[in-house]
Every structure is written in structure tokens, then in C-alpha cells.
Structure 1
């Protein structure tokens, strides 16, 4: 990234994923990841820490695109 400041939008979102009935997965957002200036790492900001310790990181895509794919809501 050529910009000297941290991006305002995260490049990735952090989720706690729980399994529901009939194999459905429920994505609960728990944080976000911001890329380092040198693009070799991320700063992870968590608003919550899942009890089981598992965090899933996904690319931050526009909501309409996610809904069309049937992923996180």
C-alpha cells in the first residue's frame, strides 16, 4: 500500500462460526483485520473472543456479494 495511514476499512473480517441444525453454519462477527503498510501481516482487532478459541478470517466483500453467495450475513 502506498498510503502512509492504516486503511479505514478492514481487508478481512473475523467470525466465530457455530453449527446449527441440518449442517447450517452461522457466522457471528467478532472482529476485523487491517493489513500492514508493507502488506506482510495484519493487525487483528477483536471485539469478542470465542469461548472455543476458534476464529475464522474471511475477505471483506460487499454485503450484496456475500448474500448472493449464501455466506455470512
Structure 2
């Protein structure tokens, strides 16, 4: 098993459509920083056809609950 699959993801990926308070955020995957720190490895459960993809750091509470 690689380091990527052993470690908890550092980021969550969301598909976001709309703007402001009416924006719809859909969880679509996770991401890890690469060993050299120059990129990311993404695992997507869906690939949006419209909108945008937003990558956010995983919340500390989520990391603690997963440990």
C-alpha cells in the first residue's frame, strides 16, 4: 500500500455551483499533497460538467474523529 492510501486526506474537493448564499456545495472527492510538495493526488467520486471545483483543507475536527 502506498503512503497516499495509508494517510488521511489533507483536503476535501467540492463541486460548487451558484454564488454567495445560494451556492450549492457537493462533496466530490479528496486530495493529498505529493511527497515532493509540488503537487496533489486527487481521488474523485464525480467530475462536474459545470460549476467549479474547490479544494479545502480537511477540518481538524474531521481529522480527530477519523483517528
Normalising by structure 1, report the TM-score: 0.63
- In the alignment, structure 1 segments of 5+ residues that lack a partner are 65-73
What is the alpha-carbon distance in structure 1 between the residues aligned to residue 61 and residue 38 of structure 2? 26
Larger Rg: 1
* Pairs aligned (count): 60
- In the alignment, structure 2 segments of 5+ residues that lack a partner are 63-67
Bigger helix share: 2
Aligned partner (choices 22, 27, 30) of residue 28 of structure 2: 30
**Counterpart secondary structure, 2:30:** strand
Counterpart of 2:42 in structure 1 is 44
What is the alpha-carbon distance in structure 1 between the residues aligned to residue 3 and residue 21 of structure 2? 42
CA contact (8 A) 2:11 2:30 kept: yes
Normalising by structure 2, report the TM-score: 0.68
What is the alpha-carbon distance in structure 2 between the residues aligned to residue 25 and residue 63 of structure 1? 24
Q: Flag as ranges the 4+ runs of structure 1 deviating above 6 A.
A: none
